[in-house]
Structure 1
Amino acid sequence: MNSDKKILIIEDDELMIKILTFILNKEGYQLSVIRDGLSAIEQLHTINPDMVITDLLLPYKSGLEVINFVKSNYENKAIIALSSLGEEEHSVSEAFKLGADDFIAKPFNPNELVLRVKRLLNH
């Protein structure tokens, strides 16, 4: 089990939160959920996750701002960016430039999400 690994999910869509928490809880990860970028930045130090999974479109601070903050202050944290299909390609490439380790388009295959999370957390 992965009970020693903490994942912070930053997502404002309730259905997506339910899907992500269901999939990752089943894998045994410790999860924290925050619904906006500003709160995520403010609480990151307290939560101290091993991985951040963030949507790119968030209230108050964007996912790109969150990625930039995480990589500027905690270089050892893995980051997966989430974005709906059809959202700007520019945002995805910007996420990688800022230091995101992976990108998953919504809707995604649950098995693919689990494989990517495990790959980043077990390297």
Structure 2
Amino acid sequence: MTKVLIIEDEELMIKALEFRLKKDGYDVHLARDGAQGIEKLNSDSFDLVITDIMMPFVSGLEVVSHIKSNPMMKETPVIVLSSIGLERVVMEAFELGVDDFITKPFNLGELVIRVKKFVRQKDVFN
């Protein structure tokens, strides 16, 4: 089963993502801020990470940097969610190695399609 880590500090958003991804058969793990996300990343492996950018303690960009600079995790696809569609932030996220960027608000169906795309790609390369 595909393991997905969602790192998001908005309770409604994390619940909606969890519900939809579990419904589609994913093994969903949750972190409610960047620090908790990094703890989970250091103690477990995931097939995909979905992270918000603006969070307390550790930002989503720091989480992306942590993943992409770690040889054991750097191939893990990362989708960034953000209500800040600032070009500078988007560019920084891609420079750090993020695989996709979705601006809030977004359609959950669209997110699920993107998740499936990355899971398929990972299956092909493994």
Contact 2:85 2:103 in 1 (8 A): no
Q: 1:88 deviation in Å?
A: 2.8
Deviations 1:43-100 (A, max 9, x none): 213231111100000111100000000011111101000001x443211111111010
- Paired letter, 2:45: N
Aligned-residue sequence identity (percent) comes to 52
* CA RMSD in angstroms, aligned pairs only: 1.1
Gaps of 5+ in 2: 122-126
Equivalenced residue count is 119
Partner of 2:61: 64
TM-score when normalising by structure 1: 0.92
Match of residue 109 from structure 1: 107
SS in structure 2 opposite 1:111?
A: helix
**Structure 1 residue ranges without an equivalent (≥5):** none
- Tell me which residue corresponds to 2:82: 83
The structure 1 segments of at least 4 consecutive aligned residues displaced by more than 6 Å after TM superposition are none
Deviation at 1:23, TM superposition (A): 1.2
Q: Which residue of 2 aligns with 1:47?
A: 44
Match of 2:90 in 1: 92
